[in-house]
Amino acid sequence: MATSNKNLQKNNFIRLAFQIFWAAITNGYMKGFSSAHIYGGKLKNICVPGLNCYSCLGAFFACPIGSLQSLISNRAFKASCYVIGFISLFGTIFGRAVCGFLCPFGLVQDLIYKIPFFKKRKNLPLHNVIRFLRYVVLVLFVIVLPITALDEFGFGFTWFCKYICPSGTLFAGIPLLAGNEMLRSSAGVIFSWKMCVLLAVLFFSLWSWRPFCKYVCPLGVIYGAFNKFAIYRFELDNSKCTKCGECQRVCKADIKVWETPNSSECVRCGECVASCPTGALKKNIARRVATP
Amino acid sequence: MFIEKIAKKSAMKKYYVTVAAIFIAAALIAFGVKNDGNMEVFNKARMICLECIGIG
């Protein structure tokens, strides 16, 4: 048990260090923070794997969900293959490990969850109903509305960014408005709405682990679909597993890991692997043959 | 023996799906670049996204 706790602490420390490192290098445009302007160089051709607003003052890269909505709302369907290709590539290599390691908004929720304020619970009330919300968000706000709801010039909007994305509000909206008087005077009802969404997500993050990822994030839905055949995956050695349930007990997403080690809900935090008392669970990479 | 055989087959199947998915993703990126997808992303991402910050 002591070894499991030590493994768990080591695992969590490494993951947190990697999350901070990744968030820092992808949002390291220091000049942006001092001048309240965003980076406009060539790196913005490239999408990052996680939900990282391209209007963040420090962002070097583009957000895949923002870019996808922007292209399809401009009827640039062929060009949108570029973003779909990026998402597919990240998904095939990492699966939802992107959410666990490479998403700055995931990091924010992880940090808030560490605050000892509420009695923590794994899922929010009505979990079995509201967990389908993210599918609705993906289909409606990222695909259908940007294509179908057009302005008088025939262009759509980035609906998810405009009305939902709390990552954009936190990393881009608040810093930009704080540093730019003109933008501040233009902020109105929509910004107030987005602040409410952000505050709600942060509040629920105190209570339950990563509520935005579990119930709202469209990118998590897409990467979740890749989890089963992604290169980075978990493997269970059935001959060692005693079905003691320790993996589910430590899993913050409440996954029955011994039944579905590559569940679409799993963000690959690795706590189940670190705490498995028999070493039946392993982090692995895809191979042509089954591992013994 | 039988279970091992099934496990081996299933692992191989997943492996080929993974390899195929990587090729498809690479092809999509190439097709997107050919259709100026990278420039479209660049043009959007280099400007402040007023919609993202709740102003546009």
State the ipTM, two decimals: 0.88
Tell me which chain B residues have a C-beta less than 8 angstroms from the C-beta of A288: 11-12, 15
**pLDDT score for A245:** 92
From the list A79, A84, A173, the residue facing B54 with the nearest CB is A173
Closest to A98 measured CA to CA, from A23, A170, A198, A163: A23
Quick one: average pLDDT of B38-45? 92
Q: Is the pLDDT of residue A127 over 50?
A: yes
Q: Is the pLDDT of residue A27 over 50?
A: yes
DSSP letter assigned to residue B47: S
**pLDDT score for A2:** 65
Tell me which chain B residues have a C-beta less than 8 angstroms from the C-beta of A84: 28, 32
Task: Tell me the per-residue pLDDT of A252-273, one tens digit each, with 9 for 90 and over.
Answer: 999 999 999 999 999 999 999 9
Q: Is the pLDDT of residue A133 over 80?
A: yes
What confidence tier does A292 reach under pLDDT thresholds 50, 70, 90?
very low
Task: Tell me the per-residue pLDDT of A32-65, one tens digit each, with 9 for 90 and over.
Answer: 888 888 999 999 999 999 999 999 999 999 999 9
Q: Is the pLDDT of residue B3 over 70?
A: no
Quick one: average pLDDT of A87-115? 96
A62 in reach of chain B (CB within 8 A): yes
Task: Tell me the per-residue pLDDT of A163-189, one tens digit each, with 9 for 90 and over.
Answer: 999 999 999 999 988 888 888 888 889
Quick one: average pLDDT of A204-232? 95
A188 in reach of chain B (CB within 8 A): yes
What percent of chain A clears pLDDT 70, i.e. is strictly above it? 97
B55 in reach of chain A (CB within 8 A): yes
A95 or A285, greater pLDDT:
A95
A window 96-155, beta carbon within 8 A of B: none
Task: Tell me the per-residue pLDDT of B12-24, one tens digit each, with 9 for 90 and over.
Answer: 888 899 999 999 9
